[in-house]
Every structure is written in structure tokens, then in C-alpha cells.
Structure 1
Amino acid sequence: MVQKLIELSLRNRFIVLLLAAGLFAWGIYSIRQNPIDAIPDLSENQVIVFTEWMGRSPQVIEDQVTFPLVSNLQGIPKIKNIRGSSMFGMSFVYVIFEDNTDIYWARTRVLERLNFAQRLLPQGVTPSLGPDGTGVGHIYWYHLDAPKMDLGEQRALQDWYIKFALQTVPGVAEVASYGGFEKQYQLVVDPVKLQFYNISLMDVMNKIKANNNDVGGRKFEMSDMAYIIRGLGYIKNIEDVESIALGNYNGIPVRVKDIGSVQMGGDLRLGIFDMDGKGEVVGGIVVMRYGENADKVIRNIKIKMAEVEKGLPEGVSFKTSYDRSTLIGEAIESIKGSLIEIMISVSIVVLLFLFHWRSALVILIQLPISVAIGFILLEAFGISSNIMSLTGIALAIGVVVDDGIVMVENAYRHLSEAQSEKTTSTP
């Protein structure tokens, strides 16, 4: 069988060369299309359901949120396991699907069940799906270098400008903000004044919520012109909060400033983000979408950040905290260096031992073609190019070289012996 295959190849050299060139071109195309990452994605195929109910204890969260969700999410096709986790004010439900399940099909089925489970949860509690990323989706971290801005202003700049801009980059599932203070209006209530004016704390909350709103009216036509009537009620500063009416006392309106004081502060923090021990910073974590090319997404993020940086306040710039593209580039350069080193060393060995440049050329041709075929198989089976797969290719190059040297040396010896016998047998 092997002899017939060799004979067929020798008789059809042009077809063999054409097939080799086609495989090499196909391999180059697969290299460009295959997702490149530094870390192999070994995480489970999961959908995260996140529910927030602030101020409740873990036991209340477990009984009224986590348990109803876990009970109703069971029975979805292709589910392998469901895990629930309850903590102060938050609930996480991890729906684990089988490995061959399409992640977006799974998210759709989970969302269908959540629409039904919503009626079993307390009023005002709404579960939501986590980002369509994986456990290794944190591909890029950055922070702001803004020495002239406080942490609250930096966090506002991150949440209301930078975050929204970076989320438009293709392949980005989420941009998670960290550090700083989330600005909020804080009302410090005097309970004695509440009792004096006979106003409950729930009345204060409801009145403030109701007054932070715009209202619409009808059109008013005058002199062939139509005017839209609006009631502007959004809170813009502390004075607006202090002026909200809560009730009346003997015909005199009771305002927020009469029962307490209003101040601008930061939301409760559970931790800080420190950079190299030099102080707190504000930044974001870019989470890549499932199945995307990490190297390509990072390049697009850097391009977008260069555009966003032009619109930042004076003295504010981006600093990179973590960049996975560095590790990706080193992995690619490692496989390139190994391939070049092996080709050079093999050429020298073959030329020294056989003194035949055509034999060395045979081995040099088969190396890039073998690597190209390896990337074709990676693309066909949906395996990304990462440290593990590139290391496997690098190790396989050594095996290919060993086989090539043995086969070339064996063929060269047989051809030499055949030529010697033919020379000696000629009279």
C-alpha cells in the first residue's frame, strides 16, 4: 500500500505539489480565522442568574429568591447541574449545561423560565442574566490616571462615559467598573422630627422617589404655533432634594430639610482597588464574549480607548493594569521561534551528514505544511490557539523532524545503493 502510494505520488508530482500548496494556503487561512488566546477555556458551559435585593440577610435571600429560582429552573433540556449561592443582598444561580450546548440557546431557555418564575419572587425583585462571557473572559484591565480628580468624579467618568464607549467594541460582553465612590444623595433623618411632624420613613422614601421625575402635558397652540408643556422635576442638586414637600403641619408644608440633612456621599463599598501600593484608582475590567478572538478584541479595545482618550478631561489618561495580548504575543513568538530554530538545525544536520541540499529541502517543505495542517484541524474541531495547543504543535514539530530525517536518510541510502548496483552491473 505504501509502495503504491509512493509510486502514485512520483508519477503525479504536479498534483502532489498542488495539493501541498492548497493545504498550506488553507492552513494560513485557518490561522487567521482561528481564535487566539493565551489561556485555554476550561470553564463549564454555564448561564448565571443574578438577583439583587439589598438589605436582606442571606437566609431571607435563600428562602425567597434562590430557592424559588432553583426550583423553577430545573427541567430545562440539556441541564447538567444547578448551583445556588445566597449572600447579603444578592443571589447567584449557576445553571450548568452540557458541553455541546449552544450558549445562546441555553440563555434563551433560561430567560423563558425566568419570565415564569418572576411571579414567585417578592415585589420589586427582578432576576437578570449575567454577561455571555466565560471564566477566562477577563482579557483587559485598565485604570485612570487622573491626579486632579477625586475618586467620585473618576468613577462617574468611568460609569457614564468610558464604560458605554468601550461596550460598543465588537466581542465585548461587559465592562465592569471598579474602585472609587458611586455618587449618591444621602439623607440623614432625625427620628425626633419625624415623630413631631407625624411622618413615617416610608412616606419620606416614596415622596422623594415620586418627586424625582418629569411629567408631560398636552400641546398648547397659540398664533399658529404649538408648544409642548412639560413639568421638569428631575433632581439636579442638593437644594432640589431639600425642597421636596413631604406633608403639612398645621397648614405649613414640611420639607425634607425640616426633618433631616441632605449631603452628597458615596455608596457603601465592600473593598478598594489599590495600584502598586500608591493609592486607590478607578478603572474597568473588559469581559470578552463567548467564543471571540481575544487578540482581535484587545486590539479593537486599544483603538477605541485611543479615540475615547481624546474626549477625556485635561490631565486624564488610561493606564494598563493587565493586558493578555502580551502573553498571547509571547506564545505566538515562541512557536515561530521554535519552527525557525528547528528548520535551521535540521538543515545543518542533513547537509553535514548527507551533503545533499535537496534532501534538506524536502524536510524544510514538510515542516510549515505540517504546522498548517495542525491549524486546519484546530479550526475544524473548534479549538482555539492557546498555550496548550501551541505547545502541542511545538512538540509535534520535533516528531515530524525526526520522522523526516529518518525517511529522507533511508530513501537517500536506498537510492545510493540502487545507483551503485546499476553502475557496477554496467559493463
Structure 2
Amino acid sequence: MLNWLIDVSLRHRALVILTAALFAVVGVFSLQQLDIDAFPDTTPVQIQINTVAPSLASEEIERQFTFPVEQAISGLPGLHELRSISKFGLSQVVVIFDDGIDIYFARQLINERLSTVELPDGISRPQMGPVSTGLGEVFHYVLVYDGVDFSEASQAERIKRMTELRTIHDWVVKPQLRSVRGVAEVNSWGGYEKQYQIRLDPEGLFKYGLTFEQVSDAIETNNENVGGGTVTDGSQMLLVHGIGRTVNIKEIEDIVITSKDGVPVRIRDVADVMIGHEIRRGAVTANGRGEAVLGLGFMLMGENSHDVTWAIKEKIEGIQESLPAGV
């Protein structure tokens, strides 16, 4: 057999060279399509279901959120394992499916079951985590102010600057990075998340006979835009649109809660409105110059980490041009 193969190869040299060249071309093409990763991803098909309920203890979280979600998810086709964590303010249920189950089919099944879960009023619906894995964290970057050393700045100046930096990341950088092909999620760490805070005065509430619920309802119902249909004027049709969504502190202060003897009682009569920040539970430092804002880029499950990383890097170079001076 070997002698025959050698004999045929010697008599058909051109065919041998052509076959070798064909295999080389196929090999180069396959190499370009090959997924490149630092480590093989052996993560099973799993989906995280997160429910946020601020201020509730872990016992209440487990009884009101974790247990109902687990009951709704149990019995799904291909379900392999179900585990959960209940802690202060957060319920997390991890659903693991058999290998071979399509991740998007599994998410559809879970979404249908979650729609049947009954939760207490005022609590946001359970949300599924991004379509990523434990090895999907492929890119880190930081936002800093050039030439600013926060370790020497006052606390008020540091909080102001870090709030601005976090706002830039959440509203400028993050949305653009999420549009990159292959990116599942971009998380923010560090800085201070900007808030419009309404600090109630107990004496003011007592003076006007108001409750916290009345103030909360007034803010909610007076902070939205509504449509009123159309009005026909001759040959014209005019759109009726009520603009009520607040955009600054003064508009929040002018919201009417109720009236006393024909005089409106507004938010400014019973509270102070100011710009503040959410209570944070962590911080990020960079290069020994104090605080910074860190961004974490997560890759979609099954994507090529090499291609996604370079795509994010190129996008960041373009985003840099749109950032304020000094960032």
C-alpha cells in the first residue's frame, strides 16, 4: 500500500502539489475562523435571575421573592440544577440547564414562567442576567480626570467630581460600548450615582397634615407626560400633549401635593430638594492617584473573545473624542 502511494505520488506530481496547496488554503481559512480564548469556557448553560428589593432583610427576601421564583422555574424542560442566594436587598436564583440546551430557548422558557410570579406591590420585576458566562469578562477600562489627584482633594470636591465622572460613564460611554457586536453587558464600578433627593421635613408634614405616602404619590403622578388625543380645527388636526415630566430641582419643588383653604401645598413647603448620590458600597482606585470609575465589558456567550476585545478597544478610541476635556 505504501509503495503504491509513493508510486502514484511520483507519477502525478502536479496533483500532489495542487492537493497540498488546497489543504494549506483550507488550513489558513480555518485558522482565521478559529475562536481564540485565554481559557476554554466550560461554563454550563446557566441563567441568573435577580430581584432587587431595597431595605428588606434576607428572611423576607427568601420568603417573598426567592421561593416564588424557584417554584415557578421548577419543572422546566432540560432543567439540571437550581440554586439561590437570599441576602439583604437582593434575591438571586441561578438556573442550570443540561448541556446542549440553546441558551436563548432557555431564556424564553424562564421569561414565560416569570410572568406568572406574583410579587408585592412597588417591587421591580425579576430580571435575567446578561447572556454571558463566568469567563465572559473580557475588558477593563477606567475613567479618570487628567492631572487631578483625588487623594489631595476635599471630600466635597471629590464627591462632586466622581459623581460627574460616573454620570459620563453611565450616559455617554456605556451606551456606546453596549452597541458593539458581541458585547453582552457593561457594568459600572466606582464613583457616585447621581440622584435627585427629596428630604422631607417631619415638622412640615405635621403642619399640613400630610403623610409620606401622599408626598410619594404626588411626585409619581405629577412627573409624567400624557397624551390628550387630537383636536380638529378646520382642515388642521392638532395634537394635545401634556408636558409634566420634571427636569430640574425647581420643577420638583413646584409639584403640588394638596391644597389647604384654597392654597396649594408644594414639595418645597415640606421638603428640601437637592442633587445627591446613591449610597455606595465600594470604590475603585487607579494608578495611586485616588478614585476612578471602572468599566467591565462582558462578552456574549459563544463569541470570539479576541474579536470582541479589539472591537471594544477601537470603540473606546472613538468615544474618547466625544468626552469632555480632561477626561
TM-score by length of 2: 0.89
Q: Secondary structure at the match of 2:224?
A: coil
The alpha-carbon distance between structure 1 residues 6 and 87, as it changes in their structure 2 partners (threshold 3 A), is farther
Q: Indicate the residue corresponding to 2:180 in structure 1.
A: 169
Q: Indicate the residue corresponding to 1:54 in structure 2.
A: 54
For residue 302 of structure 1, report the CA deviation from its aligned partner.
1.7
Q: Secondary structure at the match of 1:241?
A: helix
C-alpha separation in 1, matches of 2:277 and 2:321: 28
C-alpha separation in 2, matches of 1:19 and 1:78: 45
- Whether contact under 8 Å (1:35, 1:291) holds in the other structure is no
RMSD: 2.0
Q: Indicate the residue corresponding to 2:69 in structure 1.
A: 69
1:245-295 deviation digits (Å, cap 9, x = unpaired): 111223321111111211110011011111133211113111000111111
C-alpha separation in 2, matches of 1:18 and 1:86: 64
- Give the letter for the 1:190 counterpart: D
Q: Secondary structure at the match of 1:94?
A: strand
Return the match for 2:288 from 268, 273, 277.
277
Q: Compare 16-25 and 52-61 and name the one that shifted more.
A: 16-25
1:48-73 deviation digits (Å, cap 9, x = unpaired): 11111222111111001111111221
Q: Secondary structure at the match of 1:235?
A: coil
The alpha-carbon distance between structure 1 residues 102 and 9, as it changes in their structure 2 partners (threshold 3 A), is farther
For residue 30 of structure 1, report the CA deviation from its aligned partner.
1.5
1:78-115 deviation digits (Å, cap 9, x = unpaired): 22100111111111110011222222222222222222
- Whether contact under 8 Å (1:183, 1:265) holds in the other structure is yes
1:94-140 deviation digits (Å, cap 9, x = unpaired): 00112222222222222222223x2x322343111110011011111
Q: Indicate the residue corresponding to 2:8 in structure 1.
A: 11
Return the match for 2:270 from 214, 237, 259.
259
* Identity fraction in percent: 37
Q: Indicate the residue corresponding to 2:27 in structure 1.
A: 27
For residue 33 of structure 1, report the CA deviation from its aligned partner.
0.7
For residue 177 of structure 1, report the CA deviation from its aligned partner.
1.5
Q: Indicate the residue corresponding to 2:217 in structure 1.
A: 206
C-alpha separation in 2, matches of 1:215 and 1:112: 30
Return the match for 1:192 from 203, 210, 233.
203
For residue 7 of structure 1, report the CA deviation from its aligned partner.
2.8
Q: Compare 21-30 and 253-262 and name the one that shifted more.
A: 21-30
Matched, 1:216 2:213: no
Q: Indicate the residue corresponding to 1:45 in structure 2.
A: 45
- Give the letter for the 2:110 counterpart: V
- Whether contact under 8 Å (2:252, 2:273) holds in the other structure is yes
Unaligned runs of 5+ in 1: 317-427
- Whether contact under 8 Å (2:58, 2:87) holds in the other structure is yes
C-alpha separation in 2, matches of 1:100 and 1:215: 47
For residue 154 of structure 1, report the CA deviation from its aligned partner.
1.4
1:376-395 deviation digits (Å, cap 9, x = unpaired): xxxxxxxxxxxxxxxxxxxx
C-alpha separation in 2, matches of 1:200 and 1:36: 60
Q: Indicate the residue corresponding to 2:154 in structure 1.
A: none
TM-score by length of 1: 0.69
More helix by share: 1
Q: Which has the larger radius of gyration?
A: 1
1:170-213 deviation digits (Å, cap 9, x = unpaired): 10001112211111111111222212211110111111111111
For residue 35 of structure 1, report the CA deviation from its aligned partner.
1.0
Q: Indicate the residue corresponding to 1:415 in structure 2.
A: none
- Give the letter for the 1:122 counterpart: P
1:28-47 deviation digits (Å, cap 9, x = unpaired): 11111111111221323211
For residue 16 of structure 1, report the CA deviation from its aligned partner.
4.4
1:311-336 deviation digits (Å, cap 9, x = unpaired): 211222xxxxxxxxxxxxxxxxxxxx
For residue 17 of structure 1, report the CA deviation from its aligned partner.
4.2
- Give the letter for the 2:180 counterpart: V
- Give the letter for the 1:128 counterpart: Q
- Give the letter for the 1:200 counterpart: T
C-alpha separation in 1, matches of 2:40 and 2:3: 39
Map residues 235-246 of structure 1 onto 2, 5 A cutoff.
Answer: 235-246=246-257
Q: Indicate the residue corresponding to 2:157 in structure 1.
A: none
Map residues 394-405 of structure 1 onto 2, 5 A cutoff.
Answer: none
Matched, 1:105 2:105: yes
Q: Indicate the residue corresponding to 1:393 in structure 2.
A: none
1:381-419 deviation digits (Å, cap 9, x = unpaired): xxxxxxxxxxxxxxxxxxxxxxxxxxxxxxxxxxxxxxx
- Whether contact under 8 Å (1:179, 1:283) holds in the other structure is yes
- Whether contact under 8 Å (1:9, 1:16) holds in the other structure is no
Unaligned runs of 5+ in 2: 149-159
Q: Compare 12-21 and 256-265 and name the one that shifted more.
A: 12-21
C-alpha separation in 2, matches of 1:9 and 1:144: 65
C-alpha separation in 1, matches of 2:303 and 2:211: 53
- Whether contact under 8 Å (2:198, 2:272) holds in the other structure is yes
